Structure formats: structure tokens, C-alpha cells
Chain A
Amino acid sequence: MPNDSPISSSESSSAIAAADVVVDSLRLLQQVAYLQSELYARASAAAGFIPTADVTVFTTLGAQESLHVGTLATLITARSGTPVPRPTTFDFTGKGAVPGFAFATGQYETFRMLAQAFEDLGVRAYKGQVQALIADKQALTYVLAMHSVEGRHAAEVRRMRGKKAWITGSSADDLPAFAQAIYAGEDVTTQGGVNVASASTGGATAASQAFDEPLGTAQVTAIITPFIT
């Protein structure tokens, strides 16, 4: 990684405060990336759990989420922050929100539901941090480079499940109830004062699909905490 961070060598108090904000953002995203990578690692470790035809996709997802964890750790360290240690325990039932889920035979579709939920969450979580990174061009550009990949991931999982690649309104599709928080507020059809619903025959449906919305730190933390104990 280039060592040209715009703020890493500054000693002024305002720069340190700014760096703290950046590190906090990166640490939040690291927790999301841990959750995602662990989901795929557990599924891959359960022999025969992922059908052969789907193995390539989930291997790719797992490898890229692991790389996100590492990239975020490197950015944090370069800003004199402390990367988040890998959680010692995960609970993929989300404290009972996904009852009995244990990567067991017959639970493959539940796994794919979690994958959809966590990838759509990733898109919104990364997006929710970009404004906090606006003064740190390197962190911003790296996070954006991961953020659009989260969009790729979400689309692939959704399509594998027979869903549209994009989010319509604030629909959580067929996901468990906990996931509704991941889609809350996605049904926006006016952007920056511009009504984008009248742009096409797709109307409000297309307008909501065309823009992914952010989720703030508190919302993301509330969603992921039950899964990371």
C-alpha cells in the first residue's frame, strides 16, 4: 500500500481528531467484513453444504471479503489506529433471529438469505461512511473501491436466489424479519431535491432501484451485534 496518506504524519490536534473519525469508520467496516468473510468460511468448511455448482461464487465472495478485512486493517494501521481483532465467537442465528441455523443439511437456502442480507448490508454500511472519509482521499478511494464490489457481490447473491440484482422499494424479499432493518429507507425516489421517478416508465420502482441508500454507524452496529458476540 502506498505510504502517502495525507494525514498519517500530521501532528496537529485537528488532524488527529480527523484521523480518529477515519479510523472509527474503517473499524466499523472491518466488523462488517469479518461477519461476511466468516459466513462464507463456515459454509465452505461444512462438507457438501454448498452445492458444487455454486462453490466458485461463494469461494470468490469469501476470498474477496477476507481481502477487505486485510485492506481495512492496513489502512487503520497506517493511521496509527488499532485494527479490530477477529471476533472470537460468531452467532449466525443472530441471537435467535435465524432460529436453529448451523450450516446444517437442508439449511443452504437460509445461508444464501444471510449472504444476501449481509451483502446488501455491506453496500449500505460502506456508503454510510464515505462522508466521514472525505478529507482522507486515500481511505476514501480505497473504501469506494470496496464499496462498488459490495454492490457486485449483492447482485450475484440476489440473482442466484432468483431475485432482482437491485433493491426495490424497501423490500427485504423473503428474508427473516431481522433483515428488514437492512432495507429500511431504501424506498427513496427523490434525490437531492430531484424527483427521479418521472425519468422513465419504470417510475418509482426504477427510481428506488437506481439509488442505493446509506446506513449510519448506529444502524449498522445494531444489525451486526447479535451476530458477533
Chain B
Amino acid sequence: MTDHTTRGESSPRTIERVTDLHATTSRRGFLRLVGLGGTIALLPRFVAACDSDSVTDPGNGVPGSGNPVLIDFEQGDVAILQFASVLEQIEAAFYTRVVAAFETSNIASGEQTVLTEIRDHELSHRAFFEGTLGADDAVPITATFRGVNFADRTAVLTAAQTLEDLGIATYNGAAQYLTAGPTLLALAKIVSVEGRHSSTIRDLQQPKTNAFSPAATDDAFRPTKSATLIQGYLVDKLAFANVPSAFVQGPNGGG
């Protein structure tokens, strides 16, 4: 069921100045251009290994093979909310598949309860961003989890840990670009719950060790670093415009 497709083969394109590419006066105008004619110019065809049986699963599309999803940081806080929305859609899709596979998986009932609750949390997070962004700013995506055998407990928990830790680092790093206090608080309300999730998933794998919290401080990734990793979970082609050049590192550095 697994394949050897590497996540993150396709890095998101970073567009420094949208106006260099298309003389447009509005973001929506630009998005239409991308959708209609700019796709190939902006987003070179993604070549991936397609020799795996998991490709045949409709939920395991090739990362980056789909339509572009553009997040324009010139929109300010909305762009951060869109980025978070992409992340929460991926997490919600992941745990939805985990729960859907319970009938054939080797995950015990107690752990099924935990994973079902985490799924419900991620559905709440997804709904929050959808509701906050509204239809005009929505960024619907199609998630993909190539190489994850959802019938296997170890595979599920390993993938869940990676996803939770990526979410934490993404929130912790993106928060510095927010200008509205209430939006910052909303993200903080979510990220500590992702911390609870990661701790739980880690403890399920290595009970009562130091695994639940690998360091006194969590990572904080700049959006482009997060996006490179998030791209591995997206059929869509994630693209950024007007990414801030400045990034203030967190205590762990390396973001």
C-alpha cells in the first residue's frame, strides 16, 4: 500500500512582485489570469513518480499536480488566515481518513476514541477558518496522503505526529505577520490544542518517556519553509505572492 514518493519534491513558487508578471489592478484579476492562462508560466509542470499503486486511490493524488492555490501576503492578516485554513483542511482530511479506516485498521478502541476526538477538533478548526474567511477569501484544497497506510497504527501515528508538529511550527512562525490582536489570539487558541494533540500522539507511541515534548521550546517556521512541507500534502499547487522578506527566528532557530 505504500510507495516511495517523496513529499515536498515540489517547492512552492515564490513570486516577489505580482505586478512584474501581470499588470493587474486587483488580486482577483490576477487570480483569474493564473487560472486561465498563467498556470504553466507560473507553475512549471510538476513531474512525480507515478509508479505506485497508491496513486490509484483517489485520496492519494500527486502533490502539486492540481490547480494553483495562490496566497498573496499583500492581503495581510487574510493571507495568514488562508495559510492556516489550508493547514487545517489537510489535518481535518487526514483524521477523517484515519477514522474512516478504523474498520480495517489495527488501532485499538481506546486510541480510536482519541483519534476521533482529534478529528472533531480539526473539523472545528477548519470550520473556524472557513467561517472567518467567507466565500470570497476561501482557499479550498484537495489533500493527499501518499505513502500512508491508514490500516496500520504505526503509519497513522507517525504521519499524525509529523502533521501536528508541522502545524505547531507553522502557527508559531506565521503569527509574527499578524497585525490584528484578536486574529493573533484566535491562532493562539488553536496552536496550544495542536500542542496537546502532538503530545498525545507522541505519548501513544512512547508512553511516559520524554517524547511528548522534545524541547522546552517548539519550532517556529517561516511561511516558505512550512509551505515546502505542506506542499507534500496538497494536490493543488501552493503558490505565494509578496512573501515578507523579514522573518524573526524563534528560540530554536532554523525557521
Q: Which A residues are closer than 8 A to B by beta carbons?
A: 1-2, 4, 6, 53-54, 56-57, 59-61, 63-65, 67-68, 71, 123, 127, 130-131, 134, 137-138, 140-142, 144-156, 159-160, 164-166, 191-202, 206-207, 209-214
Contacting residues, chain A, for B175 (C-beta < 8 A):
130, 140-141, 144
> If the complex has contacts A152-B198, A165-B199, A209-B121, are A63 and B216 also in contact, measured as CB distance less than 8 A?
yes
* B113–chain A nearest beta-carbon distance, Å: 9
Interface check B9, CB cutoff 8 A:
no
> If the complex has contacts A165-B199, A166-B117, are A152 and B213 also in contact, measured as CB distance less than 8 A?
yes
Inter-chain CA distance A85–B175, complex, in Å, is: 30
Interface check B123, CB cutoff 8 A:
yes
**B195 close to A155 (CB less than 8 A):** yes
| Count of A-B contacts judged by CB separation below 8 Å | 213
**A138 close to B248 (CB less than 8 A):** yes
Where chain A touches its partner, the secondary structure class is: helix
Pairs A-B, 7 closest by C-beta atoms? A151-B195, A202-B120, A194-B131, A199-B127, A206-B120, A151-B192, A67-B216
Size range of the interface on B? 35 or more
**B200 close to A165 (CB less than 8 A):** yes
**B185 close to A214 (CB less than 8 A):** yes
**A149 close to B120 (CB less than 8 A):** no
Interface check B208, CB cutoff 8 A:
yes
Interface check B26, CB cutoff 8 A:
no
Contacting residues, chain B, for A63 (C-beta < 8 A):
216
> If the complex has contacts A145-B250, A165-B196, are A137 and B176 also in contact, measured as CB distance less than 8 A?
yes
Q: Which B residues are closer than 8 A to A by beta carbons?
A: 114, 117, 119-128, 131-132, 168, 171-173, 175-176, 178-179, 181-182, 184-186, 188-200, 203, 208-210, 212-213, 215-220, 248-252
* B253–chain A nearest beta-carbon distance, Å: 8
* CB-nearest residue of chain B to A140: B176
**A141 close to B249 (CB less than 8 A):** yes
> If the complex has contacts A155-B196, A201-B120, are A144 and B249 also in contact, measured as CB distance less than 8 A?
no
Given contacts A142-B250, A200-B120, A209-B121, 5 further A-B contacts (CB under 8 A): A2-B249, A130-B185, A148-B191, A197-B124, A214-B189
* CB-nearest residue of chain B to A145: B217
Inter-chain CA distance A63–B218, complex, in Å, is: 15
